[in-house]
Amino acid sequence: MPPSFLNQIESSKAVLEIEHDVADQLRADGIPLESISAIIWSHHHIDHTGDPSRFPPSTKLVVGPGFKSHSRTFPGYPSNTDSLVTDDAFIGRDLVELDFTDSIEIGGFLAIDFFEDGSLYLLRSNGHTDDHISALARTSENRFVFLGGDIAHHPGEFRPTKHLPLPSEISLWTVGQQSAEAVSVCPASVFEAISPAKGRGLDAKVTPFYELNAAMNESLGDAEAALEKMMTFDATSEVLVIIAHDASLGDILPFFPKRMTDWHMEGYKARGAWRFLRDIAVVFNGSTE
């Protein structure tokens, strides 16, 4: 692990316990690592890279634009002591840096049809990092899952919006642990009253609860532009948006090796859209006592 990350872990007194990584999970389900043709990094941060060195040389590593020209990513550590990635991730395998020069456009994003069959599109979504990419995976003829990576770190950064306003009533089972039998719904006015948007003189029904933080993004302007594009996808019933750090979906989405092709029929989007509001459910509880 690069010293830069080790220092961060030590200074924050954090403890990382990783019992099984992606390679372990694939093998446990009977999927040989030799069958994996490519690993795609959303970006180079250590919580999104895993350990590609465990995969055979036949597995290529796909990265976003600028990866090979950034002094903090290439070459890797220890060849480059300033690098945030280790060189064993790509030494001995094909390192493919995406080129969006002749790409198509989907919803404002530059996009590459990765398998050339319309099943998976890789999207240029730089901002959080310069090499950040997202993915749009087809699950049926007209439905997709938008894998946002770190395009945002909390659903409250892109909900609600004019495309997806705060509903007038929110079922409490989407907010916290209260039973629907106890109190079936919660009026949206409760959340409007405590939304930071109100203090900025904005309409809380159509303004995200939070704003992107400059400290979390290499280019705040690019990050905001990418997030705004994603909001349009989030508003349609045909696309399920998932960002990497959305903990509110943890008990809704199925875990590998289960599939989520039928996410629309299972109601994952409807059940999860406003579930992040449980983060402020304690405020709601206090207002009703």
Please check whether residue 88 is in contact with residue 55, taking contact to mean a CB–CB distance below 8 angstroms. Answer: no
Please check whether residue 104 is in contact with residue 18, taking contact to mean a CB–CB distance below 8 angstroms. Answer: no
Spell out the residues 6+ positions from residue 195 whose beta carbon is closer than 8 angstroms to its own. 204, 207, 209
Question: For the CA atoms of 158, 39, 50, 44, what is the dihedral angle to 10 degrees?
Answer: -60
Query: Residue 191 burial by CB count (10 A; 0-12/13-18/19+): exposed, middle or buried?
Result: buried
pLDDT tens for each residue of the chain, 289 residues long: 788 778 888 888 888 888 889 999 999 999 999 999 999 999 999 999 999 999 999 999 999 999 999 989 999 999 999 899 999 999 999 999 999 999 999 999 999 999 999 999 999 999 999 999 999 999 999 999 999 999 999 999 999 999 999 998 887 554 445 444 434 467 788 888 888 888 888 999 999 999 999 999 999 999 999 999 999 999 999 999 999 999 989 889 999 999 999 999 999 999 899 988 877 765 555 544 4
Which structure tokens are listed for 14? Answer: 């954090």
Query: Which is it for the CA torsion 127, 163, 235, 157, positive or negative?
Result: positive
Domain ranges of the chain: 1-97
Which structure tokens are listed for 85? Answer: 């990635």
Nearest to 38 by CA among 58, 20, 53: 58
| DSSP secondary structure letter of residue 247 | G
